Amino acid sequence: MILLEAASALDGHAAWLSQARLNGGQHWVHNAVCSVSCSDAGNPPIPVTRQQRYSEQDSHVVSPRSAWLHYARDEALRHGGSLSALAQLTSLPLSGLLTAARLDEAAIINNWLISTNLHPQWQDSDLSLLTESVMARHGDSPLLIRNISDAANPGLATRLAQQGWTLLPVRQIYTCDPQQDALWQQPAVSHDQALLTRGDMQWLGPASLREQHLPALRRCFREAFVDKHSALNPDYSESFFRLCLNSRFLELHALQHNGDIVAVIGLYQRYGWLSAPLTGYATGLSPQLGLQRRLMALLLREAHKRELKVHYGAGAGQFKQQRGGVASLEYSAVFSSHLPGRQRLALSTLAGILQRTAAPLLTRLR
């Protein structure tokens, strides 16, 4: 059974990459207009995305400008004074430096257009080969790798820095290890697990979901992930949901209440981790139903059962800390040694500003 699941996930990645190379990233994510190529380094293949044009509607999964500026601006506007730290970040003179460093044109490596890419444990020789492979096809642009953290890939940030990559802080993330007994003693976790087993709703696993469920799944996702939180989150297409249904690129689970689908979660398993880059629920229903808590309970239960660690991603820090989440700063790494001096200077200046200001501000948001 485990071998079949692993083969299915691998097929899902191959199908994702095949269609993205033909039709662009927007085939899977509406607000990720980019070309998708493939690095010669690595097996299975590694996707490389590159924006075709810049727009303020670009998702943060494809646009460094959205990740550093527009997402922070939207969060500050949505939450007001409670996120004054992010408001400070958006007031910094970063836009001109992003333009001068040409980060909007960056070739983004191992980018599956999800909020959290999970990376293998790249060693020095892997990174050298990967850099050379991508630079051969994208020698006119910076190279970028998202989602670098010591929590998920110990030592990777150091290895990248030693090979000439520049580290730029992006967000605060949360991870946990469900194999630790103490986690299951936390009140929030115990309460969530009780909700998970309550018989007032029906769980539909990947084997039970059908084509006719896709519109409802996408509607739940958009209500919570895009409409409620941010239009800069990846807006997954119906084709993406169909891919997950047929080949389990993400493993879809849904909650059904009184015959209607009211919540969805997409589990992403890779390299010893389990994450949930796709979650959603019917926001018009009573919070007393605990839909989000049930989704997180499923994530923890499945990670424990599969002996995996959990990558919670960013946001909702208190909620995740109450469920074992440990905060860690996440970076994007940029390689620009092959570019003109003015671009390298802009990147170096940008990195200095972000390290002095953004890193402390993001840490304060725990």
Q: CATH code at 196?
A: 3.40.630.30
Average pLDDT over residues 295-320: 96
3-state secondary structure of 119: coil
pLDDT at 365 over 60: no
pTM score, two decimals? Answer: 0.93
Question: What's the CA angle centered on 270, arms 70 and 109, to 5 degrees?
Answer: 45
What is the domain extent for residue 131? 2-172+330-364
Q: Residue 4 has what pLDDT?
A: 36
Q: What is the mean pLDDT of residues 247-260?
A: 96
Q: Are 262 and 291 in contact (CB under 8 A)?
A: yes
Token readout for 90 is: 């958006």
Ordered alpha helix ranges (H), the chain: 2-23, 64-65, 71-79, 84-90, 95-100, 124-137, 156-162, 187-197, 214-221, 238-247, 291-306, 317-321, 341-353, 359-364
Residues 345, 252, single domain; the answer is no
Is the domain of 146 the same as that of 258? no
Name the residue with tokens 């601006």: 73
Cα separation, 268 vs 249, whole angstroms: 7
Domain count, the chain: 2
In the chain, % of residues over pLDDT 70: 91
Please, how many CA atoms are within 13 Å of residue 151, restricted to the half-sphere of its CB? Answer: 22
| 90 and 38 part of one domain | yes
In whole angstroms, what separates CA 100 from the centre of its chain? 26
Same domain, 21 and 127: yes
Find the range with the poorest average confidence among 76-85, 87-96, 100-109. 76-85
Same domain for 203 and 294, yes or no, is yes
- Residue 220: the pLDDT is 98
Using 50, 70 and 90 to split pLDDT, how confident is the model at 80?
low
Neighbours of 10 (CB within 10 A): 14
User: Given this model, what pLDDT does residue 315 score?
Assistant: 87
Mean pLDDT of 13-24: 96
Domain co-membership, 108 together with 195: no
How far apart CA 161 and CA 166 sit, in angstroms, is 6
Q: What are phi and psi of 325, to 5 degrees?
A: -70, 130
Task: Give 161's pLDDT tier (boundaries 50, 70, 90).
Answer: very high
Q: Does 49 share its domain with 196?
A: no
Closest CA to 156 of 268, 47, 44, 271: 271
For the chain, how many residues are written?
366
Residues 143 and 189 grouped into a single domain: no
Q: Regarding beta strands 273-281 and 309-314, do their DSSP bridges make them parallel or antiparallel, or are they unpaired? A: parallel
| Number of other residues whose CB lies within 10 A of the CB of residue 293 | 20
Query: What pLDDT is attached to residue 91?
Result: 54
Based on the domain organization, do 304 and 338 belong to the same domain? no
152 and 61 assigned to the same domain: yes
Judge if 82 and 141 occupy the same domain. Answer: yes
> 332 to each of 83, 106, 258, 351, how far by Cα in Å?
22, 12, 44, 10
Considering the domain architecture, whether residues 186 and 154 belong to the same structural domain is answered as: no
